[in-house]
Structure 1
């Protein structure tokens, strides 16, 4: 089998997605996600100009060799654009391999290690009562784990809380929006949210919370300690992780589990965090972390240090990446939990998929390969539209982490 063609499909069914299709001389094709939220066309150009011409004539079954060729052969390694490009190729090749062997992808990754993939979804509200209602709604739908965010009093725009009447979707058309942030108000408020949730909902539901890189290490330590009575499943991205040793300070002060890494793009971004036992869950997503080949190696390394997976799964990733994460999550031994945000009906119409949700768990389905297809005719009706993530400033105007 040889690769005969590779092309990109850029579309915007409610949000922008970049999809790679790789064709072979046996009529089998594979799909990969190449979406980098807010920088989509940078990845498209990297693929079009520098990667796709190198694929023609290669054996698509050689996933390891092609991965190394694209990673080592470029000399300039890592970075989100490069690793997202490699991931798109890698996932498409694994899709081809599964289809050619007529088996779902998880069987090529070790087979099933569990019956289903535990997932969590996003609950939020403008205030604590609204957030409580939102968590209850998802529990009624069968979710066993829910991430909870609420508006902070005195802060006009709080992370994770949608604008009135809109589903949560941070990427916005036009130039980046700006919001104001107060760390002090947030630190004083967050424990009261989870105190109320535990009083009203009891201890059985898994509760998660995303700090979204907004704190310094000592501030994150304070938050983690204050949340200990409410036994969160995890506290996500408590501070920016470029300085990996900053997590040592957080770890010394709290037993609240820590998850980080949705902005990582290689094992080396989390190497010290894992081997020094500074985190409990690795969040690096398949699409930004070099694909299935690299994600499997990262998960295997994490397993040596009792770190479990908790892959990013927001709607800035297409259903192709969600399917890939579910296949890998079903297979790896040290799976922890999978983030699950519902794509819009329009997105699901463009990307038809076999994965399903039932009683708190998801399954990738048993179709060969990934189990995802793209309706190119429908996709063509929704052309790319420039969109950006927001930025945040402190109350005095200082730019901070969004």
Structure 2
């Protein structure tokens, strides 16, 4: 009897191959859809002392970064413009390749200006990538390890006085930790009354808050590199009685070899790193084993990509991270994205009402300031796409018409010699 042979039914292998082909085609279509090119760079110098960067793509997706060295905004802006010569027409989603090119494809590299330019560009590229995939940046690094981040607030100014009342105000606002400058001008070896002044200020905070949180309230003390090794040893020992959260930059970063000696005089955790700009700068510091907390700045140390690597290095040395950020909303949003997915993060600096702010503050350039709503000493991690914030571009452009020319003060000691600020 004639007839047609019955077709062989598809095997499991055939079905899987078909599914793989369909998935491959979808992936190809998605890649085509998400293939973008960088079309424009714009920098905005805005009060109080910041530089914002907007990167635009041909898909209409824009990203924001904050490349800034405080007091050198103009120099960083030029460095960004030089980088833009390479980046126009590039695919913004190839972040690692762009980072490596900006770092390695030049004979002279590193330092605050070049690394800050890379940092702001890197932030903006991650913002673009997150928006393109409708994901917050932390999802690209394995997702969150925490729901919220502990933050601290600054009290006092460059020459801190009346810090006790300011600390109480911060506590009543819900903060559980503050940071203050330890000293003003200091000689290599100074009189002990300078030490007693510091002890009196820190003691006044502990006394003012003693009936409330007591020692549970964190007091971080920033030496700001103003104190030289001889005095740092004395201060570190004498401050132990107040159980500080940490002491910061007890010596200048170019003198970090002195940290080993200072550590012999105290059990207070030692923090440093805001003036180090790459994983290579942190390598010896971590190897020496004398630092407890590192403080890379996401607007100085190569951005989100590099600071993620630095934090991972620190974790291998059992060292925690407190990202440096006395800056603007883009820098803070970048920090919070990395805080969210980094296990060894301790606490986050933020700049609301900091003494540097004149004619502008942290929330002034956001469409929704509530994204940084602090509660019980913490801030929730922004969950929107990219950096998780929306910049008020109209406010940025208006502020850029004013601009700024911020410079740090020039200090001298009593005999007229230049002092560290």
Task: State the TM-score bracket (shorter-chain normalisation).
Answer: 0.7 to 0.9
Q: Quick one: distance in 1 between partners of 2:414 and 2:95?
A: 49
Q: Quick one: distance in 2 between partners of 1:21 and 1:128?
A: 36
Structure 1 residue 32 corresponds to structure 2 residue 40: no
Higher Cα Rg, which structure = 2
Higher normalized strand content (fraction of residues): 1
Higher normalized helix content (fraction of residues): 2
Q: Which consecutive unaligned segments of at least 5 residues does structure 1 have?
A: 153-157, 159-179
Q: Quick one: distance in 1 between partners of 2:100 and 2:158?
A: 47
Structure 1 residue 64 corresponds to structure 2 residue 96: yes
Cα displacement (A) at 1:104: 1.2
Evaluate the alpha carbon distance shift between residue 268 and residue 113 of structure 1 in structure 2; reply closer, same or farther with a 3 A threshold.
Answer: same
Cα displacement (A) at 1:246: 1.2
Cα displacement (A) at 1:281: 1.0
Deviations 1:244-302 (A, max 9, x none): 21111111221111111112211222222212221111112001000111000000001
CA contact (8 A) 2:112 2:300 kept: yes
Q: Quick one: distance in 2 between partners of 1:127 and 1:89?
A: 34
Deviations 1:306-332 (A, max 9, x none): 111111121xx2210100001101110
Deviations 1:123-174 (A, max 9, x none): 2279998321111111111111111347x7xxxxx4xxxxxxxxxxxxxxxx
Pick one of 188, 206, 229 that aligns with 1:198.
206
What's the TM-score, normalizing by structure 2? 0.83
Structure 1 residue 279 corresponds to structure 2 residue 291: yes
Structure 1 residue 6 corresponds to structure 2 residue 40: yes
CA contact (8 A) 1:38 1:388 kept: yes
CA contact (8 A) 2:274 2:296 kept: yes
Partner residue in 2 for 1:387: 406
Pick one of 321, 325, 328 that aligns with 1:313.
325
Cα displacement (A) at 1:208: 0.9
More displaced 10-residue stretch of structure 1: 346-355 or 102-111: 346-355
Structure 1 residue 330 corresponds to structure 2 residue 340: yes
Partner residue in 2 for 1:46: 79
More displaced 10-residue stretch of structure 1: 2-11 or 326-335: 2-11
Evaluate the alpha carbon distance shift between residue 295 and residue 199 of structure 1 in structure 2; reply closer, same or farther with a 3 A threshold.
Answer: same
Q: What CA RMSD, in Å, does the superposition of the two structures yield over aligned residues?
A: 2.1
Partner residue in 2 for 1:365: 382
What's the TM-score, normalizing by structure 1? 0.87
CA contact (8 A) 1:10 1:16 kept: no
4+ residue runs of structure 1 moved beyond 6 angstroms? 125-129
Q: Quick one: distance in 1 between partners of 2:215 and 2:223?
A: 22
More displaced 10-residue stretch of structure 1: 282-291 or 104-113: 104-113
